[in-house]
Amino acid sequence: MRIDVDHALCDGNGLCAERAPSHFELDENDELRVLRADVDDASIAAVRSAVHACPKSALQLRTSA
């Protein structure tokens, strides 16, 4: 799986970084940074929680090709 972010929708509330800190962080300007776009089996639950928590639906998971 791979993380896609629509930065135009993201408002930097940080719920994703709280739920999956190994994959997301907010920078000093509260802009989202994806630390690891590829999601392994060990972190899929946390990343799915982060995606579902996003109030702006700026995050999506897609199957890696």
* pLDDT tens digits along 7-51: 999 999 999 999 999 999 999 999 999 999 999 999 999 999 999
Q: What are phi and psi of 48, to 5 degrees?
A: -60, -40
Architecture of domain 2-62: 2-Layer Sandwich (3.30)
Domain ranges of the chain: 2-62
Residue 65 has pLDDT above 70, yes or no: no
Give the bridge partners for 14, in sequence order. Answer: none
Q: Is the dihedral of CA 32, 36, 37, 43 positive or negative?
A: negative
Instruction: Please answer whether residues 6 and 16 qualify as being in contact, where contact means their C-beta atoms are separated by less than 8 angstroms.
Output: no
pLDDT of residue 2: 97
pLDDT of residue 64: 72
